[in-house]
Chain A
Amino acid sequence: QQQVKQSPQSLIVQKGGISIINCAYENTAFDYFPWYQQFPGKGPALLIAIRPDVSEKKEGRFTISFNKSAKQFSLHIMDSQPGDSATYFCAAHVANAGGTSYGKLTFGQGTILTVHP
């Protein structure tokens, strides 16, 4: 199956706290896993992405942890700020496979993050 399951649906954290969003996938052919941030009235913006040959990738306050054997990956937002309040989507893609993979990201259902000041 091509599904990507994301949890939680919503998350409330205090300023300075850690936000953690989890995703699980089924298709072992997926080999590119991006996270997107979306503000109201805007399109999704790429935050950070990982390929399965590494277990962790960090960019600033954002870290992806990847567990290939469990088919799970997660986004950690350190020192969460009110400006981080947005909807976050995980996604997965089969890269370099041609055919039915071209242009197709499979998205999780999204997590609405609220960071209280």
Chain B
Amino acid sequence: KAGVTQTPRYLIKTRGQQVTLSCSPISGHRSVSWYQQTPGQGLQFLFEYFSETQRNKGNFPGRFSGRQFSNSRSEMNVSTLELGDSALYLCASTRTGDGGYTFGSGTRLTVV
């Protein structure tokens, strides 16, 4: 059974640019959540999508957005990148969004 796949694994962007990260959930999982992991703030919830609808959102600025496609694949976008956006971005999938979260290996974003 394939796990959660995140692409790309590494990204280097310049301040002010925008970036799009991709997540393919486990087959049959319709809920995809996104998290930001930094040494200072730890793991913080960004948002969750289920059946192409955002059901929940964390305390991040509007520069962080996402979407989900009909095949449950999800993308997140960060616009106007800041140095503080440098982090490991993780996605997790579950069947319903109520437990049993499986994480991908993440995308390491570095903003210079």
Which of A's residues lie within 8 Å of B, judged by CB? 32, 34, 36, 41-46, 49, 89, 93, 95-96, 99-110
Q: Please report the C-alpha to C-alpha distance between residue A36 and residue B42 in the assembled complex, in whole angstroms.
A: 13
Q: Please report the C-alpha to C-alpha distance between residue A45 and residue B56 in the assembled complex, in whole angstroms.
A: 22
| Chain A residue with the shortest CB-CB distance to B9 | A41
Total residue contacts A-B, CB cutoff 8 A: 76
A-B contact pairs, 24 of them (CB 8 A): A34-B101, A41-B105, A43-B4, A43-B90, A43-B105, A43-B106, A44-B43, A49-B99, A49-B100, A93-B98, A96-B98, A100-B56, A101-B56, A102-B31, A102-B56, A102-B97, A102-B98, A103-B49, A103-B94, A104-B33, A104-B45, A105-B92, A107-B42, A109-B42
Q: Please report the C-alpha to C-alpha distance between residue A89 and residue B43 in the assembled complex, in whole angstroms.
A: 9
Nearest Cβ in chain A — how far from B6, in angstroms? Answer: 8
B63 within 8 A of partner (CB): no
Q: Please report the C-alpha to C-alpha distance between residue A24 and residue B96 in the assembled complex, in whole angstroms.
A: 26
B110 within 8 A of partner (CB): no
Chain B count of residues within 8 A CB distance of the other chain: 30
What B residues does A109 contact at CB under 8 A? 42
What A residues does B44 contact at CB under 8 A? 107
Which residues 59-112 of B sit at the A interface, judged by CB distance below 8 A?
Answer: 90, 92, 94, 97-106
Asked if residues A45 and B94 are in contact (CB atoms below 8 Å), the reply is: no
Nearest Cβ in chain A — how far from B94, in angstroms? Answer: 7
B58 within 8 A of partner (CB): yes
Given contact pairs A43-B92, A103-B47, A104-B56, a sample of 11 additional A-B residue pairs in the complex whose CB atoms are under 8 Å apart: A32-B99, A34-B101, A46-B102, A89-B43, A96-B98, A102-B50, A103-B32, A103-B33, A103-B97, A105-B45, A106-B45
Q: Please report the C-alpha to C-alpha distance between residue A71 and residue B58 in the assembled complex, in whole angstroms.
A: 24
| Chain A residue with the shortest CB-CB distance to B33 | A103
Asked if residues B55 and A45 are in contact (CB atoms below 8 Å), the reply is: no
Q: Please report the C-alpha to C-alpha distance between residue A46 and residue B55 in the assembled complex, in whole angstroms.
A: 23
Q: Please report the C-alpha to C-alpha distance between residue A99 and residue B99 in the assembled complex, in whole angstroms.
A: 14
